[in-house]
Amino acid sequence: MGGLIATLTTIVTVGCDAPTRQLAPLETGDRGMVVSADPLASEAGVEMLRKGGNAIDAAVATTFAISVVEPFSAGIGGGGFLLAGFPDPAREDYQIQALDFRERAPKAASRDMYLDENGEVIERASLDGHLAAGVPGTVAGLFTVHKYYGQLPWETVVAPAIQLAETGFPVSEYFVRSLERRRDVITANPAARAIFTRDGQMYEPGEILIQADLADTLKTIAADPRSFYTGEIATAIAADMAENGGLITLADLEAYTPIWRNPLCGNFRQFQICAMPPPSSGGVHLLQILNLIEPYDLKSWGRQDPDTLHLLAESMRIAYADRAEYLGDPDFVAVPVRSLVSGGYADIRRSQIDRERATPSDEIPPAARDILNRHIWESPETSHLTVVDGDRNVVSLTFTVNGGFGAGVVAAGTGILLNNEMDDFSVAPGVPNLYGLVGGEANAIAPRKTPLSSMTPAIVTEGDRLIMAAGSPGGSTIITTVLQTVLNVLEFDMTVAEAVSEPRIHHQWLPDRLLVDSTTPPATVEALRRRGHEIVKRDGWGNVNAIVVTPDGQLQGAADPRRDGAAVGF
């Protein structure tokens, strides 16, 4: 039986004069595996597996636990996406289900709600305070998937989170740094100040954070999850909104329903890759980029070869250009999904890639609609966790409160930190959001509409065999982070530990720059710069949590060494 991974990491030199990178510890297991952004949350999930629960039970317990120990990234005041896979021996494949429990705009939301009388964006109005919050979906999503597929009692899967909130946990250095970045907005909100500071003083790493109000809220949810939307919790949220200029009403909460959607699946080599459809842009652009690069033998070039990285960067540039124009909530706008992921469209866009030079983004506009029409136009700070059980049921789940500590406000008396997910809409055409992403009409604000997301939980299968599951936080970088993790395993034959540790690149069309991990060899960086890429070095981004099933059936899990996650197997 595998236990909690060791905290020690291996240092690997990746190039002369380059910084070094950490290699994630590799955890193994036969009967189950949970990988999440926090060791306490991973242990909560494995506890469910040990009690005889399945992957769904473990995922729900882990998600609730993350909501307690990682309020800076995700929580019950936010929302997300879930992919679940179940082996089907009769059909010799995997049945994949997709659940959208993303936040929604309140009924009183309006297209220009963040603009002043001159049509200018009101600074930080979509980021800070009650007006930035969308209707939360996490509790409804977890209850829905558990009702359909869980095995353990609902109260059992919520119990670990209650204990963590009631007895507390030691805050990490990352927690403290995240809190410091949001100090002003958090200390300005009395309810948030009371929970996340000691009378205005910041916590120190290792100090115990107790969240008594959140523990009481979780106890109420354990007894009756509907209370979040129709009971005393909903009443408290609505009252706090009314008192502080927010838009979420009791009617908004009562109207919230998660949506089962058809997963978006496509092929790469002999593998099937499934991810979320819109209102996530993740699945569309993951498959779009894989289509663009499939004809090339990247393995023979090498993972960090300039040819490989240049091709990836140019493919990313094309995908994100299309994202800005076409992606939005499919319940409100026609998203040309089949067109964007079609092979014929990939052939056209691939011909626009100069293999030797970076093409300026202003020369790569979104695809003309008439081209898409010829290719089957169709009508109408985040946290990730991955779970596989002994029967090889799998869950890949990404959820969020959007920015660090969400809107920076807590619904008084509930302990619930609220999201600032409204910023994921296009607050005005051409105006970048928190992550620098530019959007247009398809992602404009409308009542009860879902904002566009980059969250990309992914499941990879080959026939009736599970190959891997992965996902990551990271805002606009999520899609490219998951893409490279999948390629590291499928194309470059890396172990899961190597795959989540490898240096990454990211291009999102605008701004026209290529983010490069600082551990990338200097010679490679210079080769990319000579091709015309404007290089911006970063120390690292993303927080991949992934599980791979080896050919002999063993589970191998790894948590991104860039953060504090853990893989726990048994």
| 322 membership: H or E segment, kind and range | helix 306-326
- Kindly give the residue spans of alpha helices, DSSP state H, lying in 88-137: none
Residue 295 preceded by cis peptide, ω within 30: no
Residue 561 preceded by cis peptide, ω within 30: no
Q: Which two tokens stand for residue 120?
A: 């200018």
Q: Are 362 and 43 in contact (CB under 8 A)?
A: no
What sign does the dihedral 435-441-447-452 (CA atoms) show? Answer: negative
Amino acid at 394: V
Q: Are 460 and 392 in contact (CB under 8 A)?
A: no
Q: Are 395 and 421 in contact (CB under 8 A)?
A: no
Residues 6 or more apart in contact with residue 228 via CB below 8 angstroms = 76, 136, 139, 140, 221, 234, 253
Q: Are 458 and 486 in contact (CB under 8 A)?
A: yes
Half-sphere exposure of 150 (CA within 13 A, CB side): 22
d(CA 45, CA 393): 14
Strand partners, 275: 264, 458
Name the residue with tokens 């089907």: 88
Q: Which of 62, 144, 217, 382 is catalytic?
A: 382
d(CA 162, CA 432): 38
Q: Indicate the SS3 state at residue 101.
A: strand
Which residue from 183, 191, 187, 242 is spatially nearest to 213, judged by alpha carbons? Answer: 191
d(CA 50, CA 3): 12
**Could you confirm whether 456 is annotated as catalytic?**
no
Q: In whole angstroms, how large is the CA radius of gyration of the chain?
A: 22
User: Which backbone phi and psi does 83 adopt, to 5 degrees?
Assistant: -110, 135
Residues noted as catalytic: 382
